[in-house]
Amino acid sequence: GEDVEQSLFLSVREGDSSVINCTYTDSSSTYLYWYKQEPGAGLQLLTYIFSNMDMKQDQRLTVLLNKKDKHLSLRIADTQTGDSAIYFCAETMNYGGSQGNLIFGKGTKLSVKP
């Protein structure tokens, strides 16, 4: 079945860059997403990338997609303490009755040290 894997923890110093990695198994993925979840809150969509793109940049966020290796990464430049949260990678496919369903990874907890 479909599977999305992420490392569980990442710790960086304020001002450094953070890179959160994700691998997925289903090559028919059409959209790949990054969500941010702050403590006690719901999910906030950070950015997404279509599967026919290699890179997408949005202010401090850069998403890289390697379709051959089924590898997705999220780079946060100049990481701030407010970036501390859990980051979820997710994929969606379009097939049959499950169109639009998201498959999530377990999330990477990013800790930013002053």
Partner 1 sequence: GAVVSQHPSWVICKSGTSVKIECRSLDFQATTMFWYRQFPKQSLMLMATSNEGSKATYEQGVEKDKFLINHASLTLSTLTVTSAHPEDSSFYICSARGGTGANTGELFFGEGSRLTVL
Contact positions vs partner 1 (CB under 8 A): 30-31, 33, 35, 40-45, 48, 50, 88, 92, 97-102, 104-107
Q: Which is nearer to partner 1, 15 or 100 (CB)?
A: 100
Q: Which of 60, 65, 68 is nearest to 50 (CA)?
A: 65
Shortest Å distance, C-beta 65 to partner 1? 15
> To the nearest whole angstrom, how small is the minimum distance from the Cβ of residue 84 to partner 1?
16
**Nearer residue to partner 1 within complex by CB, 18 or 35:** 35
User: CB burial class (10 A; 0-12, 13-18, 19+) of residue 7?
Assistant: middle
Of 50 and 78, the one with the shorter C-beta distance to partner 1 is 50
**Residue whose pair of structure tokens reads 């992420």 in the numeric block:** 6
Give the nearest distance from C-beta 77 to partner 1 in angstroms.
22
Which residue pairs, CB below 8 angstroms and at least 24 apart, start in 94-102? 94/30, 95/28, 102/33
Distance CA 101, CA 96 (A): 11
Q: How far is the CB of 59 from partner 1 (least distance, A)?
A: 14
